[in-house]
Amino acid sequence: MKRLAGILVALLVSAGALAQEKAIPPLDVPMSFSGTYGELRHDHFHSGLDWRVGGRIGDPVHAIKSGYVARVTVGPWGYGNGLYIVHPDGTTSVYGHLNCFRDDIAKRVEEAQFAEESFSVDLRFAPDEFPVERGDIVAQVGNTGSSAGPHLHMEIRDTEEDVSLNYLSRGVYKPVDKSAPQFHRVCFYGLDSLPVPDTWRVHNLTHPTEVRDTLKLPARSYVAIDATDRQEGTNAKLAVEEYRVSLDDSLLFAFKVGDMPAAKGRYIKSLIEYRESRRGGRDLVKSRVDPNNLLADRITARDDGLIILGDDAVHQVRLEAIDEHGNRATVRYRVRRDESLVAPPRDTTLNWTSWLWYMQNMVADSTMSYFLPAGALYNHINFSWKKIADPDPSRGILSEVWQIGDPDIPLQLPGELEIAADVPEGLEDKAYMASYGKTLDYAGVRVRFGTYCVALDTIAPTIRFQDSKAGIVNGSTIRIRVADDASGLESARVEIDGKFYPAMLRGSVVSLELKENRVKRGSHILTLTVTDLCGNVARESRTFSY
């Protein structure tokens, strides 16, 4: 009994030590980042740290703390090859864009791919299957998934709550950082006096720190800020932790990223000036606070963040950008009210109505109806719609073409769109809701603001094998180009000698890696089957030597 008590005490002491275990860096290279926590990424906040590796693939990735590998994911997008380690302190570390996993983990992944006959897999493991000690190598740095270059994406999550933690602001990792953030662009927007106001851009300051003239503003306006942080040893544009706007030294608006829950992070489209982001620009944090913005718990605002000028005197607007280490950049502008500044006239060829964010909203017009659920909007809007074209069977367009709302207005939820169409009998499964433009991309029934029609797709995708000495093989890698000119690609299946082989469909390329434990040296037959979103199928076979 005494021996058992001693073992229990030892186990408790060990568990306590692990719970207090200090995190180490995941890489052996000097600490430097190409991306930091809280960066604005159009439709989400960056939830971790992107570690720089000098453009190399293959550097070892270490477990930052002891624990066990609880999950591994493989897919063409997102993290690509991702690995999750659960730690006794209540956190989970996530490692993304990996080149490959540790051998024993990689074996399990390969077995699952063949068993499920799928390239993409999501595997969960028990605590005793893949335990790790702090510092153990678990993978290699890669460039898989939605990655623009070799790096390691790493984030720390609260295991119970869906919240990612900022290990820089918490001081767990301490890079050299004595550099203040930098302002890149500042825009001012006016609001008219309508019950549901129209907004328009009044000033676009592309060299914001050099402005010395007094800026003229309408009686009500707001400001949007493009700023990034800097750190020693990297040219990357990193995240700003806090944005502040003051009017005559009185705080008007402040936003601090903090630890961001995933559910709230999706409200970033209400925080940024969405029209600028959508038009290919950077994300600007706006001072105007929308009523349906769940990020309000980390926003301080007066007058909904609006700059209200009640007289013709000169006032001062001060903008501040602060990083997680307290470095601060400041820019000041003199502003004066000018009542001659008014919103541009509306497009009178459009139909208009006002929609309230907390209401269900619907419009119906001849062959079209569009329904938007309550809470789909971030703020009240002036909604517009218009029929812009008739059916065009030569392009496979079976219905009238409708412009639904303004694509510059963000939505938290999509709406339900119906458009009447004359679909040929027997081809109902080949008709689809399309986003109208140079191409007719598959949109589905639940859509955001844009231009849509019903289109027909009866044409199978195309498959183009690449020629080389070995037929279609470049070393151990096979790449095959595929395309679909209408609804778009849905899936690709590869078989070698009649048996499934894992292959990744990403964009217009199907790729696979031949492994000697699965494909013997010699001549083989590869069959590729590609299916589009309307169920049209293309299938081709080639003989290759390996």
pTM exceeding the 0.85 threshold for the entire prediction: yes
Model confidence at 470, in pLDDT bands (50, 70, 90)? very low
Q: What is the model's pLDDT at position 337?
A: 98
Q: What is the pLDDT of residue 19?
A: 57
Q: Which amino acid is at 297?
A: D
Sheet holding 415-419, edge to edge: 361-365, 368-372, 415-419, 446-447
Q: What is the pLDDT of residue 1?
A: 41
Q: Among 228, 256, 283, which Cα is nearest to 43's? A: 283
Is residue 365's pLDDT more than 60? yes
Alpha helices in 159-267 (DSSP H): 262-265
Averaged confidence pLDDT in the chain:
93
Angle at CA 46, nearest 5°, toward 41 and 52?
110
- pLDDT, average across residues 495-502: 97
**pLDDT mean over 24-39:** 96
Tokens of 353: 């109505």
Q: Please, are residues 167 and 177 in contact by the beta-carbon 8 Å criterion?
A: no
Q: What pLDDT, on a 0 to 100 scale, did the predictor assign at position 12?
A: 35
Of residues 445 and 105, the one with the higher pLDDT is 105
Which ranges of 88-201 would DSSP assign to H, the alpha helix? 103-116
243 and 321 Cβ atoms separated by less than 8 Å: yes
SS3 252: strand
Query: Domain spanning 19-165: which CATH class is it, in words?
Result: mainly beta
- What pLDDT, on a 0 to 100 scale, did the predictor assign at position 467? 60
Of residues 471 and 341, more confidently modeled: 341
Q: What is the pLDDT of residues 384-437, one digit of tens each?
A: 999 999 999 999 999 999 999 999 999 999 999 999 999 999 999 999 999 999
- CA-based Rg of the chain, rounded to a whole angstrom? 28
Taking CA atoms, 358 is separated from 50, 291, 364, 503, in Å, by 38, 9, 20, 45
Res 280: pLDDT? 80
| Whether residue 474 has pLDDT greater than 80 | no
Question: What's 423's DSSP letter?
Answer: P
Least Cα distance to 228 among 136, 324, 155 occurs for 324
Name the phi and psi angles at 175, rounded to 5.
-70, 160
pLDDT score of 10:
36
Maximum distance among all alpha carbons in the chain? Answer: 89
The answer to whether residue 15 scores a pLDDT higher than 70 is no
- Whether domain 462-545 has CATH 3.30.70.80: no
pLDDT at 3 over 80: no
Residue 198: pLDDT band by 50, 70, 90 thresholds? very high
Of 107 and 15, the one with more pLDDT: 107
SS3 of residue 108 by DSSP? helix
351-456: CATH topology is Chondroitinase Ac; Chain A, domain 3 (2.60.220)
Running DSSP on this structure, what letter comes out for residue 439?
S
Instruction: Give the per-residue pLDDT at 4.
Output: 41
Q: For residue range 139-161, what is the model confidence (pLDDT) as tens digits? A: 999 999 999 999 999 999 999 99
CATH of span 182-337: 2.60.40.10
Note the pLDDT tens digit of each residue in 159-168.
999 899 999 9
The ranges assigned to domains in the chain are: 19-165, 182-337, 351-456, 462-545
Residue type, 398: L
Residue with tokens 């890489």: 27
Determine the straight-line distance between the first and last CA of the chain, rounded to whole angstroms: 64
Same topology, domains 182-337 and 462-545? Answer is: yes
